[in-house]
Structure formats: structure tokens, C-alpha cells
Chains A and B, each alone.
Chain A
Amino acid sequence: MAKDRNEIFQDVQEVLIDALGVDDDEVTDKATLMGDLGAESIDFLDIVFRLEKAFGIKIPREELFPAESLMNNPEFIDNGKLTEKGLTELREKMPHTDLADFEKDPDINKLGNLFTVNAIVNYIEIKLNAA
């Protein structure tokens, strides 16, 4: 199913509006799921289920939202920041996300900021094109 980026964005926007109960003007490209849109753990699961349904693809939650496993692995965290190993792991797991800003200050409390609407759209685009 060939969808252009705009169509993907609109479908992702609809999923987020339904799952998070936010208005369409809040779901901008740069909006962060946790900070701006108020998403939490249970919402991440709801979002994954809905995205799978909307796009007809399988989305291992780990691929889209890898933070949890990173945050729980002592090899990746040192003093509240991601280690080099952690950053490498993150880069591998989130090719759909721009990590430049985060790498300047890899504070794990800021991991949440990486989950933007844009990141999801990128991820879906990659998945659909690979299919």
C-alpha cells in the first residue's frame, strides 16, 4: 500500500487523537507524546495496537518505544545519563528519530522527549516502504 508522508501523518494524527483524547491542533509534527500530549505507559500500548490496525503492519512495541529496556539496563545508564553503549543501542533501535539534540545531554529523564509525532510518522514510513 503506497502512502505518501502526508497521508501517513493524517492517519497517525487520527490514532493519537483517539487514543489520547487530544485535539487535532495539538498533534503537530514536533509534539512529544509524553510531554505535550500526556501519553503514558498504557497509552503507548493502545497507540501500538491502533497503529497496527490502521496500517496493517505488526509493530513490536520495543521497536517503536524502546525506552523501557534501555532505562532498565545498568550497562546503558550511568548517573542518570545514557552511556556510550546506551547511546549506540538507542541509535540502533531508533533509526527513525533524530538524536542530535538528545546526544548533547543524554539525560534519561529527557528520553521521553524523543517520542515525537514526527518519529512515529518516520517509523511507519520506513516500515511501509520495507514491506
Chain B
Amino acid sequence: MRWIWIDKFIEFETGRRAVAVKNVTLAEEHLHDHFPGFPVMPESLCIEGMAQTAGILVGEARNFQEKVILAKVKKAVFFDYVVPGDTLTLEAQIESIAPEAAGTTGKITCGKKLIAEIDLMFSHIDNNLAGIEFPEENFVFTDTFKSLMRGPAFSEQD
């Protein structure tokens, strides 16, 4: 299991808005536990997909200088569930951004169906006195995530 819950970005406006997609497939092991007999994508992993979409949007706005981590799920409301064969579209917008944190709003759709509305808050841990020691390097935005920053959504970027 890799900890990447989005597949690619289809739109990306620096500092404002990003849209990513995720395919859901029976090849994903965890679906067979949730639930055995009828696989549905766990809502918690939908939230992670949004956290990655929004987190990359927030991180990129400051050139991936800070370690951006999920600090609070303000709200996550689900209207329908997702099954193998579905493709999710995750859209995130930056609502507010400050040196130490950022707030995002977003929604997940599957075709025309609204699946979820998810509002998040991220903390830039280098800017927060957490009193915990972190490794120097930016372990949050690894090459795996940076590799998502390629493709048609980025061809017009400067």
C-alpha cells in the first residue's frame, strides 16, 4: 500500500485552486476489508485524498519550503459512497493562508454525483512552536508527491 490517495492533477492554479482525480479499483487491497463482501472506499481515505490535493496546493503556494501537515478537519460531510470502477474528482480551494497555517474548502464528486464536502486546516510545522524535534529535510513533500506536479495541468506554469 502506498500512501498516495490521488493519481494526477487535472487543473492547478497556484495559490488558488487545484483539481485532482483518483481511480478506485478492486486491485486496491484495503477495499477487500471495507467491507468484506461489498467494497466501498473508506471515507477516511477520501479525506486523505482531499488532504493531499489541498496540502500540495498550499505547499506549492510557498514553494514547498515548509512542512505542511493536516492539523484539523473542520468538517467532512458525505452524501454518497464510492465503489471500484468509480473515478473521483477532488477540487480544493485555498480559503485563507498565513505564515503558520492555511485553510481550504473542497468537494469530491463522482461524475455528476456530489460525494463529499471537506474543509481542512493545515499547519506549517516549521512555523509553529510545537516543541518537537523534526528532521531538517522536508519529509512531507517527497519526490513521490513532487512527481504529481507534472502534466498538462502544469504546462502553462511559469
Contacts and interface: CB of A to CB of B under 8 A. Distances in A.
Contacts, number: 26
Q: Is the interface of A mostly helix, strand, loop or mixed?
A: helix
Interface residues on B, range: 10 to 19
A43 B73 CA distance: 11
12 contacts: A18-B74, A41-B128, A42-B121, A45-B98, A45-B101, A45-B103, A45-B121, A46-B103, A48-B98, A52-B96, A61-B98, A72-B129
Contacts of B71: 42
A52 B71 CA distance: 20
Contacts of B103: 45-46, 49
Interface of A: 18-19, 41-43, 45-46, 48-49, 52, 61, 68, 72
B132 to A, nearest CB: 13
A42 B72 contact: yes
Contacts of B72: 42-43, 46
A120 to B, nearest CB: 18
Interface of B: 71-72, 74, 95-96, 98, 100-101, 103, 121, 123, 128-129
Given A18-B74, A42-B101, 11 more contacts: A41-B128, A42-B72, A42-B121, A42-B123, A45-B100, A45-B121, A46-B121, A48-B98, A49-B96, A49-B103, A72-B129
Nearest to A46: B121
Contacts of A43: 72
A37 B89 CA distance: 36
